[in-house]
Chains A and B, each alone.
Chain A
Amino acid sequence: MKAFIQFLKKEFYHIFRDPRSLMILFAMPLVQLLLFGTVIKTEINDAEIAIWDKSRDISTQKLTNKILSSGYFKLAKIIQSEPEIDTEFRKGKIKLIIVFDYNFDKRLTNEGKASVQIIADASDPNNATILVNYVESIINDFLRVKNDMNIGLQPQMRMFYNEEMKSVYMFVPGLMAIILMLISAMMTSISLTKESELGSMEILLVSPLRPAQIILGKVLPYALLAFLDAIVIIRMGKNIFGVPIIGSRLLLFLETLFFIITALSLGIFISTITNSQLVAMMISAVALILPTILLSGFIFPIDNMPWILQFLSNIVPAKWFLIAIKNIMLKGLGLVVIWKETLVLLIMTVVLLVASIRRFKIRLE
């Protein structure tokens, strides 16, 4: 036990004396959280738009007011002619232009339909789609009020669990998955391969320390620090961005711990494939970090992916982790609902550890 504590101490010296490790462990989670939370947003605030109102009647006026008072849009320019559309878009500031056709109010009242054109700058397609959707829903709303319940079917949309569609609700869990993957899988695999690369692994194996103690001693500090980071991210998410934790905190922490262990076994497994720190880093980055960002459902919805990617996303641990912690944090659900995701993580961990032990033995022989 004493020998093991001495080993842990050494490991912490390694971490705290390496500026790069410190950056990843302490600076990166904060910077990324602030970046994701404030800069990169999928919701719209004060997007600059232009309006070309050919009709200039009471309806277009009302609709314009409704659009502008929504808080999503800011009128930057009133245009009067066709060529101006192109000019304004080319300037780049205006992202969306609304064109009301002639006799808008008259046609709407008499014929029950009128023309309005929404032109968006799709050089940023995601943004364009969101803007168009917003305008559409405002116009639909306007029509409903105008027709005064004449339409039998009235969709009343509510976005449960994230009523305001706040993107930060997505980023906090997603960021946790990335940071935990970076620390628990990437950094441990590098730290383990470093011992082999430097030749100190031989010395450790010849010492009375058991191989299991050596591995545990290498991964435990990273597990602790990863867990600490997870707590910081959750707390910052709650205090700064108001991301709620409706469900059980204990369950949230346990699920996080579970994911850390899965990530650690990934790190251990990688270190049994290679003896080079550089290779370990590349494998971690390409095989672990990228899928965690792209295939976990963190940024791109899994339902919209081609079937092959949907299929692949099943082997990305972060996918299951994200489903589980979103259910806990945003919906307040318990283990009764997320046992399946937890089981998947458990199975992944066991498979990876068994494979690692096998490979480790082969390498010793």
Chain B
Amino acid sequence: MIMPDSTLLNFDSNIIQVKNLVKKFGHFTANDNLTFHVEKGEIFGFLGANGAGKTTAIRQLCGLLAPTSGQATVAGIDIFKNPEKVKERIGYMSQRFSLYDDLTVWENLRFYGGIYGLSNKIIKDRADYFINKLGMGKSRNTLLRDIPLGWKQKLAFSAALLHHPNIVFMDEPTGGVDPVTRRQFWEMIYQTAEEGITIFVTTHYMDEAEYCNRISIMVDGRIVALDTPKALVKKLKARNINEVFIMLARKE
């Protein structure tokens, strides 16, 4: 395993702390002894081929799936003991954006604020903040089906941030989006991270992996590499992350 020496350094600032996490489905081991941590405000890239076990890991961290063994805390909460509590502290955004086409921009935000139990006042203030920030003031009462894809994606991200989560899990958030919009979207991610919100992101785009503070690469249910993109490129004497990924995935 390619790891920096200081893997488990600062416990207090670690927003995600995972030790020997195992998830088995019958005889199949989907996650084999995962150990890693994510620091507060970090953009953490979670890479791996399809079927490597990324989704399984994320689902456990989100409290959707009970782990088989190990230890893990998310935002200071033990996911073994209190998976429901974890849900209040995290945001989630998936590839499919998951906003409702037959609801307006404002209704979508109000809905997502509402299911997190925010008060009407807070929902309104925060929704206004995001709508203005995205320059969507005029589209506030437009049905989502009439909104361009790039805006939908940013809006989905805003919806995931509405309840001020400590961490946002993003499962391939830029799937099917053009390069310019992707670029803009990553600027939004950076801004969010600067505000102290941790970003846990999976992606298939290797240029996006380079935007992350640190990345982990999963192969067959195990983490085979975890470091900053630069360090990984250097260690494996590769030209870029794309090469790193291919080298690691092939080797296994």
Contacts and interface: CB of A to CB of B under 8 A. Distances in A.
Contacts of A6: 110-111, 114-115
B199 to A, nearest CB: 15
B114 A13 contact: no
A198 B64 CA distance: 18
A202 B90 CA distance: 13
A213 to B, nearest CB: 9
B98 A208 contact: no
Given A3-B116, A7-B115, A199 B64 contact: no
A207 B94 contact: no
Given A7-B114, A208-B88, A364 B94 contact: no
Contacts of B92: 202-203, 206
B88 A199 contact: no
Contact of B87 (A198, A202, A207, A364): A207
Interface in A206-222: 206-210
A14 B115 contact: no
Nearest to B95: A199
Contacts of A365: 25, 65-66
Contacts of B39: none
Interface in B229-246: none
A13 B102 contact: yes
A13 B103 contact: yes
Contacts of A14: 100, 102
A208 B107 CA distance: 19
A18 interface: yes
Chain A, interface size: which category? 20 to 34
A337 interface: no
A200 interface: yes
Interface string B77-109: 000000010011010111111111011000100
Contacts of A13: 100, 102-103, 107
A3 B98 contact: no
A138 B36 CA distance: 91
B103 to A, nearest CB: 6
B102 A17 contact: yes
Contacts of B112: 203, 207
B109 to A, nearest CB: 11
Contact of B103 (A7, A10, A204, A209): A10
Contact of A206 (B25, B87, B96, B117): B87
Contacts of B94: 199, 202-203
A305 interface: no
Contacts of B117: 2-3, 208
Given A6-B110, A203-B92, A208 B102 contact: no
A236 B161 CA distance: 50
A22 interface: no
B62 interface: yes
A18 B110 CA distance: 20
A205 interface: yes
Contact of A18 (B93, B99, B102, B107): B102
26 contacts: A7-B111, A9-B114, A10-B103, A13-B103, A13-B107, A14-B100, A198-B100, A199-B95, A199-B97, A199-B98, A200-B98, A200-B99, A202-B94, A203-B92, A203-B93, A203-B112, A204-B115, A206-B62, A206-B87, A206-B90, A207-B115, A208-B87, A208-B88, A364-B65, A365-B25, A365-B65
Interface of A: 2-3, 5-7, 9-10, 13-14, 17-18, 198-200, 202-210, 364-365
Given A3-B115, A6-B111, A208-B115, 20 more contacts: A3-B114, A3-B116, A9-B114, A10-B103, A10-B107, A17-B102, A198-B98, A200-B99, A200-B100, A202-B92, A203-B112, A206-B62, A207-B116, A208-B84, A208-B87, A208-B88, A209-B115, A210-B84, A364-B65, A365-B25
Q: Which 4 pairs between the two chains have the least Cβ-Cβ distance?
A: A6-B114, A199-B96, A206-B92, A200-B98
Interface of B: 25, 62-66, 84, 87-88, 90, 92-100, 102-103, 107, 110-112, 114-117, 169
